[in-house]
Amino acid sequence: MFKLERLYSEPKTFDPIVFRSGLNLILGETKEDNQKTNGVGKSLAVDFLSFALLKKFKDCRISLIPKDTFDPETKICLEFSFRGVNYLVKRSPENHNNPEFIQNGISTVFASLDDATEFFSSMFVVGEDAEHTPSFRAMLGPLIRDEKSEFKSLVLCHDTNKRIPADYTPHLFLLHIEFGSYREIKALWAELDAIRVATSKVKENIETLTGKNLKEAKAELNELTNQIGKIQSEIDNFENLKSYEYVRDELVALENQIEVVRTKQSTLKHEISKTRIFGKEDYIPDDEIEELYEQFKRGLGTLIQKQLEEVLSFKHKIDEFQRSLLEGKREALSSELGELEKTAADLDRQYKDRVSLLDQNGSLKNLKQSVAIQQKKMEDLASLSAWMRTHTKYELEKSVATSEKNKKLLELKFSLQEASKVVESIQESILQAHEYIAGNRHCSFEVEVTNNREVVKFDLRIHDDGSHSNEREKVFMYDVSLLLNNEISPRHLGFLVHDNIFDVDQDTLVKSLNFLTTPESALNNKQYVLTINEDKFRQEDLKRLRYSLSDFAIARYTKKSKFLKRHYQEVPPKKTR
């Protein structure tokens, strides 16, 4: 059994807390002016205990204490014993990653917090198999629940704001249920989630590529394969001809020549059309020349010597000369165009002759175009085929993971069946507590293996179930039953800390605390640490208690006498990116 002995600091910054067997109360006392005692340091004392037991520094309230209030080099010290051997742990905020462990006067300073946690875990191995014992930190989860967990769940032990997933490992271990299968199932669920995300991405890519859903894409794949097969068959027919290489090269050359000739033809036709525009009979008429001549004659008189007939004759010669030039150019261009047309016709005939040698079925009319189409379709086929193969691969991996998960679920169910007596035993312990506190046995506790991401379900039902206060009471009865049950004891560390768990009616509160000192509880050889405000009790409630609070008080704090003996404002936590 793990036994807490003493919590203190070096140098002294708070009064040492000495733990003892049985019930240990850390009280917040009522002041004379009847002010509430929140913030006096009860929870901070529990936080110091958790820090000494290797809780991560950033998750501890000690990390929020200003340095001028608490020197970071101050060592938090915890004395404890385990299996009859005394130990001492020292840890400071300044060197929180390097705890010091002292055993039989021999000191060991760990290089990291993980090393220290691993060492502690090795100490608490049950039997010879470390793989079948949870880590030290995992075991402490349900033994020192975070006050901010609000005690609303049997398995959620941490600050609700941090949204840490439920870990059933320590609970299954305590109930003698093999938790290896549970961990493997959780890992397989994570793998299945990753496969689901990857499969969804593949489907998106297939839809983007084909514009169709997965089922339609499979038909598209078959059609592409068929089209490429036909094109390839025709190309293969080409390649079976002895002169294929020669004819193929000739076809390519002919296609290039035909393209050049057609370009020249287009250019010549454009030039001929221009000569026709300028060759039309659209010159200046003779009557306009006569009128212009008379105007000049009236204006210049005897300066104009030539007669009108001479002017008209000269104009006709110019027109005739220009017309002859255009006519000559048009005839030359037409002659060249005629030659090109003969050449084009000859090239077309040659091309048809060559194609007739290759085109057996009349499918391929242009070799370059056909090869290009085939290449594009082959690229589409390769891309679609790759995505379809990837999808098939993921589906296979999903089937394998699902099959393995179902196998592990069956193993976990068998383990649960083998531990049924232990589960029944813990239910009986809960029933005893419920009968004492609520006066009846309208209560049940079941453990179920489920085929969902939670994997396991713990279902504890009590009388008047469902309210916030009753959820806390359920956690109290469950935790205390685990602590006290004889079947669980060999695997339990033997101590339990509840920080401000009670938020119930006075009758339930008094009966819950009385239960802890009954013979049924058998708390004498265990340790139960409870923080509670004294002002929760009315005078008549104190009279109904089986004991005086002072008898079990190991620490008392008020606003005038706080845990750290001074007032301070916590430093806001650093935001993590």
pLDDT tens-digit series, residues 219-240: 676 766 766 666 666 656 555 5
Residue 438 belongs to a domain: yes
Residue 313 belongs to a domain: yes
pTM of the complete model: 0.73
Residue 314 has, within 13 A of its CA and on its CB side, a CA count of 7
Tell whether the model's pLDDT for residue 558 goes beyond 50.
yes
Distances (CA, A) of 360 to 237, 249, 356, 366: 8, 18, 7, 13
* Residue 203 pLDDT class (50, 70, 90 cuts): confident
Percent of the chain with pLDDT over 90: 48
Same domain, 337 and 247: yes
Task: Assign residue 114 the CATH number of its domain.
Answer: 3.40.50.300
| pLDDT in the model for residue 53 | 96
Average pLDDT of the segment spanning 196-206: 86
Residue 309 belongs to a domain: yes
Distances (CA, A) of 525 to 54, 174, 517: 25, 18, 12
Task: Considering only CA atoms, give the Rg of the chain.
Answer: 49
Top-confidence residue, 77 or 374: 77
CA 145 to chain centre: 28
Rounded to 5 degrees, what are φ and ψ at 532?
Answer: -160, 150
Residue 125 belongs to a domain: yes
> CA 188 to CA 180: how far, in whole Å?
12
| pLDDT in the model for residue 357 | 57
Same domain, 6 and 150: yes
* Residue 123 pLDDT class (50, 70, 90 cuts): confident
At a CB cut-off of 8 Å and minimum separation 6, what does 415 contact? 177, 178, 181
Tell whether the model's pLDDT for residue 365 goes beyond 60.
no
Same domain, 138 and 10: yes
* Residue 292 pLDDT class (50, 70, 90 cuts): low
CA 38 to chain centre: 40
Strand 22-28, strand 527-533: pairing? parallel
Which residue bears the tokens 């405000």?
533
CA quadruple 175, 181, 186, 187: dihedral, nearest 10: 150
Q: Share the mean pLDDT of the chain.
A: 83
Same domain, 548 and 454: yes
* Residue 272 pLDDT class (50, 70, 90 cuts): confident
Distances (CA, A) of 167 to 51, 52, 272, 453: 21, 22, 92, 12
Grouping H, G, I as helix, E, B as strand and the rest as coil, residue 429 is: helix
H or E element that contains 86: strand 85-91
Average pLDDT of the segment spanning 203-214: 76
Task: Give the residue ranges of DSSP H helices in 106-210.
Answer: 113-123, 136-140, 169-174, 180-210
Top-confidence residue, 452 or 123: 452
* Residue 189 pLDDT class (50, 70, 90 cuts): very high
Residue 567 belongs to a domain: no
| pLDDT in the model for residue 577 | 47
Which residues span the domain enclosing 463?
A: 2-177+419-557
Same domain, 143 and 282: no
pLDDT tens-digit series, residues 321-347: 677 777 777 778 788 878 888 888 888
> CA 348 to CA 358: how far, in whole Å?
15
> CA 61 to CA 64: how far, in whole Å?
5
Residue 217 belongs to a domain: no
Same domain, 424 and 362: no
Of residues 165, 158, 157, the one with CA closest to residue 482? 157
* Residue 255 pLDDT class (50, 70, 90 cuts): confident
Tell whether the model's pLDDT for residue 113 goes beyond 50.
yes
- Length reported for the chain: 577
| pLDDT in the model for residue 285 | 65
Same domain, 356 and 499: no
Top-confidence residue, 361 or 136: 136
Q: Choose one of 348, 368, 388: the last residue of a domain.
A: 368
* Preceding peptide of 11 cis, ω within 30°: yes
> CA 411 to CA 287: how far, in whole Å?
119
Average pLDDT of the segment spanning 510-514: 93
Strand partners, 75: 10
Residue 59 belongs to a domain: yes
Top-confidence residue, 394 or 334: 394
Strand partners, 108: 101
Residue 568 belongs to a domain: no
Same domain, 292 and 438: no
Same domain, 360 and 443: no
H or E element that contains 530: strand 527-533
Number of compact structural domains in the chain: 2
Tell whether the model's pLDDT for residue 401 goes beyond 80.
yes
Same domain, 20 and 167: yes
Which tokens belong to 357? 């040698």
Tell whether the model's pLDDT for residue 362 goes beyond 50.
no
| pLDDT in the model for residue 480 | 96
Task: Give the residue ranges of DSSP H helices in 241-307.
Answer: 244-278, 286-300
Q: What angle do CA 169, 425, 472 make, to 5 degrees?
A: 65
pLDDT tens-digit series, residues 237-250: 555 544 456 666 77
Same domain, 441 and 359: no
Average pLDDT of the segment spanning 500-504: 89
Same domain, 362 and 426: no
Of residues 412, 533, 523, the one with CA closest to residue 43? 533
> CA 375 to CA 481: how far, in whole Å?
74
